[in-house]
Chain A
Amino acid sequence: MTYPEFNPETVPALPVDDLALLERVVAGDREAFRRLYTHYHRRLHRFLTRLTRERPLAEEIINDTMMVVWQHAADFRGASRVSTWILGIAYRRALKTLERVRTRTAQDGLLASVTAPEGTMLDLLSQGAETHEWIDAALATLSPEHRMVIELAYFLGLSCEEIAEVAQCPLGTVKTRMFYGRERMRESLLTLAAPRKATATERGA
């Protein structure tokens, strides 16, 4: 049993030949499936926990996704990367879950016609301890389709083309969802940042 040298630079991505693993899964190799599961679990868990805000729900989606992988590995034709195929399955499972559990958050009520220069908002975001909460709240006001595009791009770092593959929609649809998702998010952030800006102004006066 030999382990690789530890290197902080390699922590995010250890090489795993997921296509070779998938071929072994087709043959019913349970150990290969366990390795594939372990390889994708971290990425999917972080992504899905962000989306659902509930770890048990994220775990449920992961296992539903990987069950599909186990059952339908033979259907993978290599038209895309294995990661894109698995993400696509997780995407559709997560979308259904989000549509089921989605509730309009209290932030909706805060959306008003507040305007502020973006430079100012950037300054506030840079120094605000609530930045995470603001962004989460702004994302929560989006429809599942718009939010998914933003999360896939910003959190997972997927390109426009990769998102189109995952979501199985045209490139133009991805761009449109991104455009309106960002607009909506920007409005929410302006609203959420406004009370802090007002407080800062009062303190300065």
Chain B
Amino acid sequence: MSSSIPNPPRADPCESVAELLPWHANGTLSVEDRSLVDAHTEVCDACRASLALERRIVETIRAPRGNVEQSPHSGWQRLAERIDAESIPPQSQRPDRANGSGGVTHGSSMTPDHRRAGATHVSARAADSPRNSRAAGRARRWNWGAVLGAAVAVQAAAIAVLAVALVRHRQIEEAPRFHTLATPDPTLAANGPLLRIAFDSVMDEAAARELAGRVSGRILAGPSPDNVYTFVLNAADQSARGVDDKVSWLRRQSHVLLVEPVALGQPSRR
């Protein structure tokens, strides 16, 4: 394929320099070659114009287009499902490589399955150990009246905890799950750019608050049942580029599934 393409001609200095221009424009040329190009373009109008054109093309190709950036979350979910569906382990964990024929050199030789199996094995061994058997014998010799009294006390405490949880759950259930025109919408009062951010289930409110602070913002609403928050950024010094940078930065943080700018006044889902 490549052998059918003839070598580029190099009849004069301009053609030798022309070959280096793309790498000069993308900043990867060696110091020596860069000096060669710089010296030549100082005296050659045509090559100087060519270099300017190369730079212009590189700038245009690299310029961001629009504010829409694909979140990796949905793609990752599809890939994870594919791995699960096809039950594909990494090559190092396949039986044909486990006997050493695969020459795996990276990482530990103990796979997660091995570790899990080992942990289970250790637990079973601990439960059957003589020490645990001795503890069980001591328990059998305890005063049964005291044991029953303690059990009743524990049961009463558990019932109290469950009752409190039930009352709180009902309070949450009874809260309106809809918005009306009269429902106060905090986003209407916001005077800075708004971002809607979906986190994974690990993210708690304290961490969300910390993250909002990192981008000079605060939590305006949230979390929703799906752990979605609305952040408002500081109205000062929020150029379009600045907001884009913050959106891009937020999208790269751990536990962040989705970040999208929100139009001012759009009702937030709390």
Q: A residues bordering B, Cβ < 8 Å?
A: 1-6, 8, 10-11, 14, 22-30, 34-35, 37-38, 41-42, 45, 49-50, 55, 59, 62-63, 66-67, 70-77, 117-119, 121-122, 125-126, 131-132, 135, 145, 150-151, 153-155, 157-160, 162, 169-170, 172-173, 175-180, 182, 185
Tell me if B5 and A180 are in contact (CB < 8 A). Answer: yes
Question: Restricting to B80-97, which residues have a CB under 8 Å from any CB of A?
Answer: 80, 82-83, 88-93, 97
Shortest C-beta distance, B99 to chain A (Å), equals: 14
Interface residues in B, total, Cβ within 8 A = 73
Q: Does B214 sit within 8 A of A, measured CB to CB?
A: yes
Chain A contacts of B215 at CB under 8 A? 6
Chain B contacts of A4 at CB under 8 A? 214
Shortest C-beta distance, B212 to chain A (Å), equals: 10
Q: Complex formed: what's the CA distance from A177 to B22 in Å?
A: 12
Most chain A CB neighbours (cut-off 10 Å) among B8, B88, B113, B248: B8
Q: Does B19 sit within 8 A of A, measured CB to CB?
A: yes
Q: Complex formed: what's the CA distance from A172 to B19 in Å?
A: 11
Q: Given known contacts A28-B112, A176-B8, is B90 in contact with A132 (CB within 8 Å)?
A: no
Q: Complex formed: what's the CA distance from A176 to B4 in Å?
A: 11
**Chain B contact residues: helix, strand, loop or mixed:** helix
Tell me if B252 and A14 are in contact (CB < 8 A). Answer: yes
Q: Given known contacts A125-B53, A155-B61, is B72 in contact with A41 (CB within 8 Å)?
A: yes
- Apart from A6-B249, A176-B5, A179-B18, what 8 extra A-B contacts exist at CB < 8 Å? A5-B214, A38-B252, A63-B75, A74-B105, A132-B63, A154-B61, A157-B26, A173-B5
Q: Complex formed: what's the CA distance from A25 to B90 in Å?
A: 7
Q: B residues bordering A, Cβ < 8 Å?
A: 1-2, 5-8, 18-19, 22-23, 25-28, 46, 49-50, 52-53, 56-58, 60-63, 65, 69-70, 72, 75-76, 78-80, 82-83, 88-93, 97, 102, 104-108, 110-113, 203-204, 206-207, 210-211, 214-216, 242, 245-246, 248-249, 251-255
